[in-house]
C-alpha cells in the first residue's frame, strides 16, 4: 500500500465551502468566506469573541438559515438547493441542537420534551419510543426527573435533558451553541464532560460554539474565528 493511503483523511461528514452571510439592509457581513471540514468522530470547538459569527455559522449548518453565498456539503451532498421538505427531513433525522438557554418546552414534562424528536416519526411504535427515551434519560443521569416539568430543574439538569433530546434519535451531527454559557463552573464542567463522553461513545460529530477557553479545551480540535473569518495561525 502506498505511504499516502494510510494517512489519507476519511470522507468528511460536513464540508463548508466559502460560506458568506450578509444580514439585511445594514449589510452586516457576519461570515466572510468560511471554509472547514469535519471528519467522522470529531468534537470541534468553534471559538471566538461575541459577534464573530459563531451562531450564524451553526444556524446555517443546521439549515435554520441560508447562506448568501457558498455551500455546505453533508456526506458530500450539497444542502442548499434542496427542497424545504428535504431540508426538514435532514434536520429531523441527522441533527441534534443544544442551546445556551436549553429551549425546553415548559408545558411538557422531561419525558415529553425528550420524546419530541421521535414524535415526528409516526412509524415508530409507542413502546419503542418510550424505550429510547428511558435509555437516553438514564444515559444523562436524569431518569429520576422523567415526570418533572423543566421549571422545577436546575440549569445543569435542564441542559442534561436538552442533551438527551438532542441525542434520542441518534443524529450524526450535534450543534451546540454556547451550551455552558448559562451554567456555573461546576455544572458547565459536568456538561462538557458529558459531551466529550457522548462524542466518544455515541459517536456523532459535535460542533460547539463557545467563547470560553476552558470549554474549548474539552474538544478534540479548536477552530478560531474573528470578525466573520477563520483565523489560521
Ligand atoms: N438576524 C440578524 N440580523 C442582523 N445582524 C445579525 C443577525 N444575527 C446576527 N447578526 C450580526 O452578525 C454578526 C455575527 O453574529 P453571531 O453569529 O450571533 O455571532 P456570535 O454567535 O459569534 O456571537 C454580529 O455582528 C451580529 O450583530
Ligand atoms: Mg452566538
Ion ligand 2: residues, CB within 5 A, are 54-55
Residue 30 lies in a domain: no
Q: Which-ligand-closest: CA of 57?
A: 1
pLDDT at residue number 7: 54
What are the tens digits of pLDDT across the range 102-136? 999 999 999 999 999 998 888 889 999 999 999 99
pLDDT at 58 over 80: yes
Quote the mean pLDDT of the chain.
93
Pick from 53, 57, 212, 215 the residue to mutate for probing ligand 1's pocket: most ligand atoms within 8 Å of its CB: 53
Instruction: Provide the H-helix boundaries in the chain.
Output: 3-7, 54-61, 84-94, 110-119, 126-139, 155-167, 185-201, 213-216
Give residue 102 CA to ligand 2 midpoint distance, Å: 14
Residue 2 lies in a domain: no
Going by their DSSP bridges, the two strands 28-38 and 43-47 should be labelled as unpaired
Give residue 115 CA to ligand 1 midpoint distance, Å: 31
Atom 11, ligand 1: which residue's CA is nearest?
30
Instruction: List the one residue out of 142, 21, 17 whose CA is nearest residue 74.
Output: 17
Domain that holds residue 113: 39-63+83-230
Residue 76 lies in a domain: no
**Ligand 1 binding residues, C-beta < 6 A:** 23-24, 28, 30, 48, 50-56
Residue 1 lies in a domain: no
CATH number of the structural domain spanning residue 180: 3.40.50.300
Give the pTM: 0.94
Amino acid at each position: 500500500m502506498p505511504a499516502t493511503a494510510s494517512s489519507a483523511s476519511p470522507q468528511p461528514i460536513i464540508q463548508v465551502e466559502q460560506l458568506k452571510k450578509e444580514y439585511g439592509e445594514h449589510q452586516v457581513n457576519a461570515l466572510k468566506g468560511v471554509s472547514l471540514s469535519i471528519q467522522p468522530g470529531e468534537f470541534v470547538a468553534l471559538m471566538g469573541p461575541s459577534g464573530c459569527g459563531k451562531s450564524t455559522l451553526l444556524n446555517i449548518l443546521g439549515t435554520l438559515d441560508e447562506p448568501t453565498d457558498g455551500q455546505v456539503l453533508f456526506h458530500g451532498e450539497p444542502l442548499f438547493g434542496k427542497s424545504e421538505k428535504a431540508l426538514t427531513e435532514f434536520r429531523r433525522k441527522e441533527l441534534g441542537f443544544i442551546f445556551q438557554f436549553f429551549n425546553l418546552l415548559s408545558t411538557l414534562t422531561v419525558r415529553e420534551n425528550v420524546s419530541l424528536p421521535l414524535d415526528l416519526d409516526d412509524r415508530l411504535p409507542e413502546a419503542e419510543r418510550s424505550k429510547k427515551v428511558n435509555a437516553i434519560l438514564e444515559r444523562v443521569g436524569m431518569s429520576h426527573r422523567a415526570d418533572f416539568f423543566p421549571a422545577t430543574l436546575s440549569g445543569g439538569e435542564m441542559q442534561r435533558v436538552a442533551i438527551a433530546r438532542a441525542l434520542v434519535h441518534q443524529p450524526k451531527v450535534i450543534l451546540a451553541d454556547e451550551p455552558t454559557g448559562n451554567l456555573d463552573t461546576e455544572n458547565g464542567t459536568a456538561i462538557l464532560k458529558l459531551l466529550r463522553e457522548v462524542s466518544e461513545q455515541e459517536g456523532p460529530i459535535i460542533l460547539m460554539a463557545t467563547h470560553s477557553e476552558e470549554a474549548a479545551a474539552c474538544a478534540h480540535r479548536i477552530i478560531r474565528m474573528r470578525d466573520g473569518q477563520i483565523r489560521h495561525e
